[in-house]
């Protein structure tokens, strides 16, 4: 499993309506910690590799059990994911490699397991985000290349690239990425992990 994470001081700019400049880096880290911890707890996930240049996030996510890969070749999100997938796949001759956004604080391991199990039936498959425009997970099986097209509007681009869209119900926690204040409130309503819950409580952010 490959998880991309940009430097915390630049992350989650669209959350500025709900969290100010002083708060966003801590929230972005908490989202990543809850995402990575849930993925590591999922029996279907053998290991988690985080592609990041952020020193604090590297320390905290290593402590959870993730591996860290530097953000290379510095060509943006998809280049970083392709690099991470190559490193992760080469390291363990992975049967299946998947990219997962780092902003899924409500992620539940059994739901992630269902998505990965469904994805394994196809050469490449993806899950659309809760908003219906983006992607939260892209998987490639049988040693195939991941070919990620994440970014705004990525659902359409992943479809056009030939990846199969997974039409699963009951996997809301895997779809609920957090870009805006409304997304954060929706994630809190689903139930977030302990890191995000603690930051939200300290900052008086609630689901209302």
Find out whether the peptide bond into 73 is cis, omega within 30 degrees of 0: yes
Binding mask 100-119 for ligand PEP (x = CB under 6 A): -x------------------
**Residue from 60, 111, 179, 183 in contact with ligand GTP (CB under 6 A):** 179
Cα(147)–Cα(142) distance, integer angstroms: 14
Interface with ligand PEP by CB under 6 A: which range of 40-48, 68-76, 106-114, 146-154? 146-154
If one asks whether residue 150 binds ligand PEP (CB under 6 A), the answer comes out as yes
Work out whether 132 is an interface residue with ligand PEP (CB under 6 A): no
Show the tokens assigned to 134: 């983006």
The overall longest dimension of the chain from CA atoms, in Å, is 46
Pairing label, strands 67-69, 96-100:
unpaired
Residue that the structure tokens 């952020």 belong to: 54
Q: How many residues lie near ligand GTP (CB under 6 A)?
A: 17
Q: Which of 1, 11, 29, 166 binds ligand GTP (CB under 6 A)?
A: 11
Q: Using CB atoms within 10 A of its CB, is residue 1 exposed (0-12), middle (13-18) or buried (19+)?
A: buried
User: Which residues ranging from 4 to 43 are in contact with ligand PEP (CB under 6 A)?
Assistant: none
- For ligand PEP, the binding residues (CB under 6 A) are 101, 129, 134-135, 150-152, 154, 177, 179
């Amino acid at each position: 499993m490959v998880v991309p994470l940009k430097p915390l001081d630049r992350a989650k700019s669209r959350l500025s309506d709900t969290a100010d400049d002083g708060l966003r880096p801590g929230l972005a880290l908490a989202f990543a910690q809850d995402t990575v911890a849930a993925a590591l707890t999922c029996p279907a996930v053998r290991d988690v590799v985080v592609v990041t240049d952020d020193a604090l996030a590297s320390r905290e996510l290593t402590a959870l059990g993730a591996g860290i890969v530097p953000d290379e070749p510095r060509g943006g999100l998809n280049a970083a994911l392709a690099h991470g997938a190559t490193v992760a796949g080469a390291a363990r001759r992975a049967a299946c490699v998947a990219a997962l956004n780092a902003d899924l604080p409500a992620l539940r391991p059994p739901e992630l397991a269902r998505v990965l199990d469904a994805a394994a039936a196809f050469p490449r498959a993806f899950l659309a985000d809760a908003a219906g425009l983006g992607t939260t997970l892209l998987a490639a099986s049988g040693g195939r290349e991941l070919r990620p097209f994440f970014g705004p509007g990525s659902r359409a681009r992943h479809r056009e690239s030939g990846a199969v869209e997974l039409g699963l119900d009951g996997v809301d926690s895997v779809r609920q990425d957090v870009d805006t204040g409304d997304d954060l409130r929706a994630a809190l309503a689903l139930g977030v992990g302990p890191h995000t819950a603690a930051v939200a409580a300290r900052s008086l952010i609630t689901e209302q």
